[in-house]
Amino acid sequence: MRGDACVDLLRRRDPQGYYVLAAKREALELLEKLGVSVEDAGSFLLVRVRSRSLAQRVCEMLLRKGLLSSP
């Protein structure tokens, strides 16, 4: 089930070629450790990743920890 949710989220890229995920603010410290690009979007964070495999790992990790958000 987790993989299916991530596959749906990672189906398309933004115009600059990044995969974009929305995460809860509590995930900031964890995301900074991974070295991914994080942008503040008010009540949630936008995670921007070029690599599909890294985006998949980040998505699954956020799902496991309950930190994936929907904008």
21-63 pLDDT, tens digit each: 999 999 999 998 988 999 998 899 999 999 999 999 999 999 9
Taking the C-alpha atoms of residue 13 and residue 67, their distance in angstroms, rounded to an integer, is 21
Range of the domain at 46: 2-65
Angle between the N-to-C axes of helices 2-9 and 52-65, in degrees from 0 to 180, rounded to the nearest 10: 130
Number of domains in the chain: 1
- Within a domain: 42: yes
Whether 3 shows a pLDDT value over 90: the answer reads no
Q: How confident is the model at residue 71 (pLDDT cuts 50, 70, 90)?
A: low
pLDDT in the model for residue 67: 94
Tell the burial category of 27 from Cβ atoms under 10 Å away from its Cβ (0-12, 13-18, 19+). Answer: buried
- Within a domain: 18: yes
- Within a domain: 38: yes
- Within a domain: 70: no
